[in-house]
């Protein structure tokens, strides 16, 4: 959430540096990063922007994930956007883990933060609820391992598992045009394995996967469940939140895409008609 240190927390977990490249210190598009755990497993973090204009993306983001990490600055407390994030997480039925960040600040007051969360019905374990929380500092690194342990514990409790041995299905996180590559979509694989050469439909677009790369830009032959990858090969730009799925052949992919494009056109036409008729009154 804006300036509460989400991206610096992700950085500390990834030990890379994204924050410096952000306009005004606000995450511009949903980044997705894999963080290896000591157990050999990995967690994929999706960084949803905390800016007010991104509330729609955030409501979509909550539906992409298995667990929501709510980052609240210990010196700043619960803000309007924190409340929006809580509502989005509750609406999607996803469990919340609270990360009380900026514990290195002299005016850090975690007790105040916890009481504010209680007012918004986020009841932490220490108050008899079932929401896990960690006090940490992205700056010093204190508490980061505890957060990862909590996520691992929760994933085990929730039995978060997916079958890699089936055609891939997932969600588009964002898409953009890149010169020389065409439409490039960032997608989260939720089940199955996505491979180069697969024929996919994403929203009302389709194509053959020409290349896959991870968050570090390394090329991959395939991507399994909970991996976020950049997909090159779609014939146009899908929307954020669109479903992505592998189809048996091009004929099927084209059929599905055509039907969806027709539905999109109808939806746009009816919206236009509705706005015109309301202006005529």
CATH number at residue 83: 3.40.50.300
Domain-ending residue, one of 108, 135, 157: 157
Are residues 20 and 136 both part of a single domain? yes
Are residues 153 and 36 both part of a single domain? yes
CA neighbor of 160 nearest in space, from 67, 39, 46, 59: 67
113-172 pLDDT tens trace: 999 999 999 999 999 999 999 999 988 889 988 999 899 889 888 888 889 999 999 988
CA neighbor of 58 nearest in space, from 67, 66, 49: 49
Are residues 122 and 196 both part of a single domain? no
Banded pLDDT at 5 (limits 50, 70, 90): low
Share of the chain above pLDDT 90, in %: 43
Determine the pLDDT at residue 247: 96
Element (H, E) at 175: strand 169-178
Note the residue count of the chain: 281
Banded pLDDT at 175 (limits 50, 70, 90): confident
Are residues 247 and 143 both part of a single domain? no
Helices (H), the chain: 6-14, 55-62, 80-92, 110-119, 144-157, 250-280
Lowest-pLDDT range of 106-115, 138-147, 183-192, 271-280:
271-280
Is the separation of the CB atoms in 99 and 136 below 8 Å?
yes
Q: Does residue 275 sit within a domain?
A: no
- CATH number of domain containing 174: 2.40.30.10
Q: Give the C-alpha separation, 11 to 18, whole Å.
A: 7
Q: Is 251 left (phi over 0), alpha (psi -120 to 50) or beta?
A: alpha
Task: Supply 63's token pair.
Answer: 């539906």
Domain span at residue 217? 169-270
Q: Does residue 163 sit within a domain?
A: no
Domain-ending residue, one of 157, 178, 209: 157
Are residues 96 and 139 both part of a single domain? yes
Banded pLDDT at 15 (limits 50, 70, 90): low
Is the separation of the CB atoms in 230 and 213 below 8 Å?
yes
How far, CA to CA in Å, does 257 sit from each of 112, 234, 254?
Answer: 51, 11, 5
Q: What share of the chain is helix, strand, coil (3-state, %, to 5)?
A: 35, 30, 35
Q: Does residue 231 sit within a domain?
A: yes
What is the model's pTM? Answer: 0.79
Element (H, E) at 244: strand 243-247
33-56 pLDDT tens trace: 788 777 778 888 887 654 443 455
On the 0-12 / 13-18 / 19+ scale of CB atoms within 10 A, 273 is: exposed
Domain count within the chain: 2
Are residues 30 and 98 both part of a single domain? yes
Are residues 91 and 115 both part of a single domain? yes
Q: Does residue 281 sit within a domain?
A: no
Is the separation of the CB atoms in 244 and 212 below 8 Å?
no
How far, CA to CA in Å, does 175 sit from each of 22, 95, 121, 232?
Answer: 18, 27, 35, 10
CA neighbor of 137 nearest in space, from 39, 226, 227, 13: 13
Are residues 56 and 148 both part of a single domain? yes
Is the separation of the CB atoms in 185 and 202 below 8 Å?
yes
């Amino acid at each position: 959430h804006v300036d509460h240190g989400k991206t610096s927390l992700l950085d500390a977990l990834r030990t890379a540096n994204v924050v410096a490249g952000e306009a005004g210190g606000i995450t511009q598009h949903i980044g997705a990063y894999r963080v290896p755990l000591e157990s050999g497993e990995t967690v994929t973090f999706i960084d949803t922007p905390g800016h007010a204009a991104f509330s729609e993306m955030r409501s979509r983001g909550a539906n992409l994930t298995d667990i929501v990490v709510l980052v609240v600055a210990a010196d700043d407390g619960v803000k309007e956007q924190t409340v929006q994030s809580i509502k989005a997480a509750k609406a999607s039925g996803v469990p919340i883990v609270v990360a009380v960040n900026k514990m290195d600040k002299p005016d850090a007051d975690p007790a105040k933060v916890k009481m504010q969360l209680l007012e918004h019905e986020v009841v932490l374990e220490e108050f008899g609820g079932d929401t896990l929380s960690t006090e940490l500092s992205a700056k010093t690194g204190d508490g980061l391992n505890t957060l990862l342990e909590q996520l691992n514990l929760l994933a085990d409790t929730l039995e978060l598992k997916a079958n890699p041995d089936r055609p891939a299905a997932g969600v588009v996180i964002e898409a953009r045009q890149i010169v020389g590559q065409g439409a490039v979509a960032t997608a989260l694989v939720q089940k199955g394995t996505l491979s180069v050469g697969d024929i996919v439909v994403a929203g009302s677009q389709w194509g053959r996967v020409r290349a896959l790369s991870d968050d570090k830009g390394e090329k991959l032959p395939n991507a399994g469940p909970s991996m976020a990858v950049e997909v090159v090969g779609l014939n146009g730009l899908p929307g954020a939140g669109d479903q992505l799925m592998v189809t048996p052949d091009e004929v099927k992919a084209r059929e599905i895409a055509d039907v969806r494009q027709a539905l999109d056109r109808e939806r746009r036409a009816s919206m236009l008609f509705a706005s015109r008729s309301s202006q005529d009154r």
